[in-house]
Structure 1
């Protein structure tokens, strides 16, 4: 399905809503579209904060590796993968981002959620870094960013098991900042963004830049490393089995080759 990104404004808040039904799979067009909306909000002096949300039951199911794998093709020497260029662009925004997570955030969808400064979730939200269950190295900068949010041990647990983390546990770990009922999710995300936007904007952006440090550069460097690891792993039998297993909804039968 074609991806769409819609932008609305509520006073000093830009509300970015994306959709790629039925599961909001992340492809290049979607991430580039969100990035373009981020950039437009960033250069708009009237915008002081951003809300990121999606339509449907799933926040973002990650990349569809079986049908539309955005990291499958090898890149020419000296060039970067466009999908990860687009991913890193999300971290270059200078204004705070609040994500409203109404359902599963899987793989690259988790990466998209991590690009936000704050995550408001409904009880139905789930957070999954299932790369190893696909026979693949994590991508989208997750291998660098996740531990900054939940700590190294918890990040290792998620990344080495592919475990599905429910909203309540995510809140306890700091991956989610607030849990609200599904029907109140978007208003709650907007309320937080409006609270941020009510503060002095230059001071907010300066403080945020100090807190985040070189996060944008870190993601650029990390996605280069992630892609290199993904490239050789995608040539393994375990990766082919992992993709089949996920699509057939069964445990993978891996052989280490």
Structure 2
């Protein structure tokens, strides 16, 4: 069974980590390839304007498969150089595919998001959590370090002090604390999580799709690029947007005092 299932609802794609018997543990052979393929299909489909990432069952993802670590299988098997390649070609493919997705993505954190699972949630642009969710980066408890880019991303999301506290203590925080720390933007009752995620996705999907993807690209580059580089990218991207039908639709809608209907042209 593939680690991920897809369900398209109009212009929204729902990606579900689908290994509930193991709390959606990651690292089996082919996990990276499956998630990369799903992301590539989304990028290639201009009708998709927003993605929701969630987990099947009672967890978002428990992270790397500890049983596979014990048995030395999947991404965690072989000599050190084999494990290195397992991370590069499998684990890293998971997080890079999600982080580099051109379409805005919401992580609907339905339950525990631990270790790699927490870092996977952090690849999304927006995170909302069930009140049953818990989050932690517990690598040190396994005698490991973040092997998936979390050490780069987490301080950018919640600041170096909070990120260090999470990593160095291995503590697992509840949803309310995750919201207080800025790890998630909203906490909702578990039974209404997907309804809330879909409602947010619909607001995003109502925006002009070409401009939406470019806006996300600018924000991603903004984490590392200089101000001048972003200014040049913005000018070039804006010149393209001025020549789209969606731009004129937005202008007309404001002048005519109505809601716009963007068609991706």
State the TM-score bracket (shorter-chain normalisation). 0.7 to 0.9
Residue 198 (structure 1) shift: 0.4
Q: Shift of residue 21 of structure 1? A: 2.6
- Larger mean CA deviation between 78-87 and 164-173 belongs to 78-87
Aligned equivalent of 2:251:
none
Per the alignment, residue 109 of structure 2 pairs with 101
The worse-fitting range, judged by mean Cα deviation, of 153-162 and 197-206 is 197-206
Indicate whether 1:82 and 2:86 are aligned: no
Unaligned runs of 5+ in 1: 218-257
Q: Would you say the 8 A contact 2:6–2:13 is kept in 1?
A: yes
Residue in 1 that maps onto 2:18: 19
* 1:66 matched residue in structure 2: 70
Give the drift of 1:72.
Answer: 4.3
Q: Pick from 113, 124, 128 the counterpart of residue 116 of structure 1.
A: 124
Distance 1:4 1:26 in 2: 8
What SS is found at the alignment partner of 1:40?
helix
Deviation at 1:81, TM superposition (A): 2.3
Q: Structure 2 CA distance, aligned partners of 1:26 and 1:177?
A: 25
The aligned length equals 215
Give the drift of 1:200.
Answer: 1.2
User: Would the alpha carbon gap of residues 147 and 167 (structure 1) be closer, same or farther in structure 2, given more than 3 Å must change?
Assistant: same
Q: 1:111 to 1:118 in 2, by over 3 A?
A: same
| Matching residue of 2:51 | 50
Q: Aligned partners of 1:25 and 1:216: how far apart in 2?
A: 30
CA–CA distance in structure 2, aligned partners of residues 216 and 38 of structure 1? 23
1:137 aligns with 2:141: no
Structure number with greater CO (CA < 8 Å, separation at least 6) is 1
Deviates further, 62-71 or 78-87: 78-87
Which structure dedicates a bigger proportion of its chain to helix? Answer: 2
Partner residue, 2:38:
37
CA RMSD in angstroms, aligned pairs only? 2.2
Q: Deviations over 1:149-170 (max 9, x none)?
A: 1111100101111111110011
| Contact kept in structure 2, 1:91 and 1:216, CA below 8 Å | no
Within 2, Cα distance between the matches of 1:183 and 1:208?
A: 29
TM-score normalised to structure 2 length: 0.75
TM-score, normalised on structure 1?
Answer: 0.77
Aligned 8 A contact 1:13 1:48 in 2: yes
Partner of 1:232: none
| Deviation by residue 1:137-157 (Cα, 9 ceiling, x = unmatched) | 112110000111111110010
Aligned residues of 1:71 and 1:81 also touching (Cα < 8 A): no
Q: How far apart are 1:88 and its partner, in Å?
A: 1.7
Q: Please, which runs of 5 or more residues in structure 2 have no aligned partner? A: 226-265
